[in-house]
Amino acid sequence: MTAAHRARASRGEKHPVEDFLFTYYSYKPAILRRWHPGPGVILRDATERSSWRWYRADGDDVRVDAAGFRADRGSMYRGIVNLLRATRDRAPQFGCFGLHEWAMAYRADEVRHAVPLRLGRAGTDAVVDAHDLTCTHFDAFRFFTPDAVPLNRRTLRRDDQVEWEQPGCLHAGMDVYKWAVKLGPLVPGSVLLDAFALARDIRTLDMEASPYDLTDWGYDAVAIETPKGKAAYVARQRALSARGQELRQRLLAAVTSSDDTPGGVDFSRLRSVL
Indicate the pTM of the whole model: 0.90
181: number of Cβ within 10 Å: 17
pLDDT tens digits in sequence order for the chain, 274 residues long: 999 999 999 999 999 999 999 999 989 999 999 999 999 999 998 988 999 999 999 888 999 999 999 999 999 999 999 999 999 999 999 999 999 999 999 999 888 778 999 999 999 999 999 999 999 999 999 999 999 999 999 999 999 999 999 999 999 999 999 999 999 999 999 999 999 999 999 999 999 999 999 999 999 999 999 999 999 999 999 999 999 999 999 999 999 963 333 333 333 333 444 4
The b-or-e profile of 16-45 (16+ CB within 10 A means b, else e) is bbbbbbbeebebeeeebeeebbbbeeebee
Distance (Å, rounded) from C-alpha 203 to C-alpha 174? 7
Q: Where are the domains positioned within the chain? A: 3-33+73-269
48: number of Cβ within 10 Å: 10
- Residue 64 in 3-state DSSP? strand
89: number of Cβ within 10 Å: 11
pLDDT at 257: 61
C-alpha closest to that of 212 among 144, 103, 116, 104: 116
CA 150 to chain centre: 24
